[in-house]
Structure 1
Amino acid sequence: MPFRKNHKNNSNIHTTLYDQHVVIVPPPPPRFTITEWYLNNRQRYRACDDQQALADKVLAESDRVREQTDEETKLNKREVDHHLGQKIQDIEFMKGEIDKQRKEVVKEMDNLTLYADRINDAVRCIDECYNICKKCIIMREVRLGIDLCHDDVERELLKERDVIEGAKALLTRDLQQSNEQLRRLRMTVYFMDRDLEDKCNVLKIDEHNLGLREDSLNLSMYHGFCPLDPASITAEEWEQFSKTSIENGAKEINSARLLRSYVDTIINQAMMDLKNQYHVVNDAFRRRIEETKECKSKMEIQHAEVVRQVNEITRSLTRLQKSMAEKEGFMALAHTRLGNRAQRPGMELCRDLVETNLVKEVTELRYNVSRLQQMMAEGQASMRYLLKTQIQLEEDINIKTNTLKIDEVDCMTLRQSMNYQNY
């Protein structure tokens, strides 16, 4: 190869010389002394020894650095593996704590949902009882006459309506609070689920990283510009975040338990108040029904007595009319005798004992007839008053019968379906 190159160069020189017709004389070779030759050789030997010594040092240092880096690499890997194992344990511990707290939150959600259903059942029961109470108030407005009064039953019914409205408003507010607490519990479960999902993914990543070795397949080198450690959250912040999630769950559980205890108290107190008022109203109804029955019974007795007296007066008036008719005959007889004796002649037309007795008889008959007429008028007036009283009593009895039908049959039968329970 050098020969070919020199041959090519010689061809170019000859060509150039032939073209220019110029002869170039090469310079003479350099000349060195023997001393320079020895010095050059000793310099070469010394340089070779120095380079060999330096190479020995580099080889020794290379072995030392190689062994040191190998040891540091293995130590770093063991340390990273150790920290990965600890991190996996921390994640599993936090995951277990959050999962346990989540189960408690879900359990409390179920309990609070049951309490919300209890409140709904209680509100439905109160609505039914409220409708019955309103129906009783409306039906009692159909009472007639004097029975349409503001009695104890009406006062207690109105009070019962107010008690029911107050209990319903209180339970409705408790239901709203329960729904709000359920929403907060669901929100807590949602964030816990997200945290658990993130921890499960991180656990898979770290377990996969822990299982990787330097000779594992699918290893790759990153040549990008973005940093491989973009994490901006410290380990303390991570741990505090998990603890905050657990504390929020515990806080919501305590709030839900306090609310359930409050709901228990409110339901029991409300149902107790409603039951007490229910019994008070029923007692008022029973007293009123007994009073009405007693009054109706007395009126029926009085009505029977009035009817008897009307019959007696009717018979008495008949006897008075008969007696008056009989008196008319005696009056006509006395008048006829006096008329006949008025025709006596002369001195025979004297006021003798017969005349005196006839005049006395006529006077007494007139007085007796006037007395009979007076008694007849009084009897007829008394009969009119008795008949009016009879009609009034019959109206009052009908009113009491209507009141008894409303109170005893309609209202009390309807109120039997009012069933207050401690839901």
Structure 2
Amino acid sequence: MARLLQDPSKFHPSEWATANMMQRVSTESQKSRSECMIAESWRLVDEIEKTTQKTQSDVNKKIEQRREEIKFWKQELDNKLEQIVHETEVLLTFKNRLERALESCKEPLVIAQKCLLYRQRRVGIDLVHDEVEQELVKEAEVLQGIIALLGHTLEQTNEQIRQNRSAKYNLEMDLKDKFTALTIDDYCARLTNDTPDMMYADNAVKIEGNFVSPKDWVDFSNINVEKADKQRNNSLALRALIDGILSQTANDMRKHCEMVNVAFRNRVKEVKDAKHKLETLLAMVMDETASQEKNIAALKKAIADKEGPAKVAQSRLEARSHRPNVELCYDRVQCSLMSEVQEITKNIQRQDALAQAETELKGLSRRQLSLEEEIKVKENTLYIDEVLCMQMRESVYINNF
């Protein structure tokens, strides 16, 4: 019990002083550390604020720079899109010119082929492989070549239009993405620390696999621009080619058309001259036939005119043959009558000119028939060339394509 009531151990005054000093020192040290921490905290706060402001300012500048880059490429893409759209529209007009030119070649070709077919109806000696036929064959071959060339060029044009539209599609898709990106960056540029209703975005700093490098980003748009430029240049070159082809083909068609027309005119003149000569010969033959017919009539009359004297002489001989007895004398009268009858008979028999004249008349008739037939051949040729072919070719008019 006595131990329980024993006084606790007491410290020495020096220990008390030391303890108080330690409390003071510890407190002052803690206070000093706290003050340092506060100072450091304010320094850190100030530094973080400055760093944050600087970083945010840098980000704002980069956003602005990025917006300018996007605007630059968007303007480039807009320009190229406008150029390729305009070029495609112009190329479409050239396509229409090609189609009209191709359609315009069909009628002249059909007419040339019809002319060749019609001219197969010529008959006789007029069915000749003349200059007209040669020029018609050349014209048909030229037209077929032109149609093939225009068809191939039209295929090239359609393919170029497809390429232009492909480049246009790429530009439009790129522009659409640029517009979206610019809209987003515009929104980002408008954001400030005081913007209301902002929230933390989870995983905002996560870099996903579909990010591209700035170089790839530039290369992508640059490829689209270069492709558009390439297709535009190809389109310009193709338009120049089409212009040259259309001009040359129109000139070739006009040239060959005129050559055929000149050949037709020359041939018609030649056939008309031949027909005129044949008609002149026919008129001459008909005149000669009339003369020969008159000659035959005169010969027949001359023969008929000898019948009277022959009958008189023969009648006299017949009558004198009935003289009686010694009166039946072969006197000079009898001798003269005998000579007269023989002479008249001999002269009539010697007049073979009538037979020759009749033979010549038959020959003239045959010549007349031959000439008339040949004139009909020429008339048929003239009808084919001048009426069927040349009048049909009057509808052929070749404009500049």
TM above 0.5? yes
* Cα drift, residue 224 of structure 1: 3.8
Letter in 2 for 1:378: Q
Give, in whole Å, the separation in 2 of the partners of 1:396 and 1:283: 25
- The alignment partner of 1:72 has SS state of helix
Out of 305, 308, 324, which is 1:329 matched to? 308
**Residues 125, 419 of structure 1: 8 Å contact kept:** no
- The alignment partner of 2:399 has SS state of coil
Structure 1 residues 27, 286: CA separation in 2 closer, same or farther (over 3 Å shift)?
Answer: farther
Out of 252, 269, 284, which is 1:305 matched to? 284
Out of 16, 22, 37, which is 1:43 matched to? 22
Structure 1 residues 393, 218: CA separation in 2 closer, same or farther (over 3 Å shift)?
Answer: farther
Q: Does 1:415 align with 2:393?
A: yes
- The alignment partner of 2:121 has SS state of coil
* Cα drift, residue 259 of structure 1: 1.1
- Counterpart for residue 213 of structure 1: 192
- Counterpart for residue 392 of structure 1: 370
Letter in 2 for 1:80: V
Give, in whole Å, the separation in 2 of the partners of 1:173 and 1:417: 27
Give, in whole Å, the separation in 2 of the partners of 1:224 and 1:245: 33
Out of 330, 354, 358, which is 2:333 matched to? 354
Q: Does 1:91 align with 2:70?
A: yes
Give, in whole Å, the separation in 1 of the partners of 2:45 and 2:111: 96
Give, in whole Å, the separation in 1 of the partners of 2:247 and 2:81: 30
Q: Which runs of 5+ in 1 are unaligned?
A: 1-25
- Counterpart for residue 271 of structure 1: 250
Letter in 2 for 1:155: Q
The TM-score, its normalising length taken from structure 2, stands at: 0.92
Q: Which runs of 5+ in 2 are unaligned?
A: none
Give, in whole Å, the separation in 2 of the partners of 1:156 and 1:383: 44
- Counterpart for residue 158 of structure 2: 179
* Cα drift, residue 179 of structure 1: 0.9
* Cα drift, residue 160 of structure 1: 0.7
Q: 195-204 or 40-49, which moves further after superposition?
A: 40-49
Q: Does 1:191 align with 2:170?
A: yes
- Counterpart for residue 15 of structure 1: none
- Counterpart for residue 355 of structure 2: 377
Q: Does 1:286 align with 2:268?
A: no
Give, in whole Å, the separation in 1 of the partners of 2:65 and 2:208: 19
* Cα drift, residue 28 of structure 1: 9.1
* Cα drift, residue 36 of structure 1: 4.8
Q: CA RMSD in A?
A: 2.3
Q: Does 1:146 align with 2:148?
A: no
Structure 1 residues 184, 241: CA separation in 2 closer, same or farther (over 3 Å shift)?
Answer: same
Structure 1 ranges of 4+ moved more than 6 A? 26-30
* Cα drift, residue 257 of structure 1: 1.2
Q: Does 1:405 align with 2:353?
A: no
- Counterpart for residue 261 of structure 1: 240
Give, in whole Å, the separation in 2 of the partners of 1:88 and 1:309: 110
* Cα drift, residue 124 of structure 1: 0.8
* Cα drift, residue 276 of structure 1: 1.2
Letter in 2 for 1:96: Q
Q: Percent identity?
A: 33
Structure 1 residues 332, 76: CA separation in 2 closer, same or farther (over 3 Å shift)?
Answer: same
- The alignment partner of 1:141 has SS state of helix
Letter in 2 for 1:361: E
* Cα drift, residue 346 of structure 1: 6.2
Give, in whole Å, the separation in 2 of the partners of 1:367 and 1:140: 61
Letter in 2 for 1:125: S
Report the number of matched residues: 397
**Residues 108, 253 of structure 1: 8 Å contact kept:** yes
- The alignment partner of 2:400 has SS state of coil
Structure 1 residues 40, 359: CA separation in 2 closer, same or farther (over 3 Å shift)?
Answer: farther
* Cα drift, residue 228 of structure 1: 5.1
Q: Does 1:78 align with 2:57?
A: yes
Q: Does 1:364 align with 2:336?
A: no
Q: Does 1:102 align with 2:81?
A: yes
